Amino acid sequence: MDQTVTVTIGGEAIPVPPMCFAALKRAWPAIQAMPGQTNLVDQAAVSIEIVAAALAPSRPDLTVAAIEARLKGRELIGLVTQLPLLLAESGLMPAEKPQPGELPAGS
């Protein structure tokens, strides 16, 4: 079952749904750029692009520019650390935790 991932932007807890194909297509350049990002600001910039793409259908007001304007420095790490979960829920990465009724990886 698809789960939303919650990120905090400007003090607001925002549920981010798993990405549909259209969102994945919009976010694909940022997703491909992720492995090369080594510092927090660059990782956050890529994360913002991906989150904005995922939110486009439900929160069109949260564009990349709007998220950048609202995001507080102390929220950067939370945004970056939630990204793998969003990608897993969108089917792009293996889930970290087994779902109910599933065996953990390597069992």
Give the integer Cα–Cα distance in Å for 65 and 20: 22
| Pair of tokens at residue 81 | 């650390």
Q: Which of 65, 66, 47, 53 is nearest to 19 (CA)?
A: 53
Q: How confident is the model at residue 1 (pLDDT cuts 50, 70, 90)?
A: very low
pLDDT of the residue at 95: 56
The amino acid sitting at 100 is: P
pLDDT of the residue at 80: 94
Contacts of residue 58, defined as CB under 8 A and 6 or more positions apart, other chains included, come to 17
pLDDT of the residue at 93: 72
Q: What is the pLDDT of residues 5-60, one digit of tens each?
A: 999 999 999 999 999 999 999 999 999 998 888 899 999 999 999 999 999 999 99
> Contact, 51 vs 17, CB < 8 A?
no
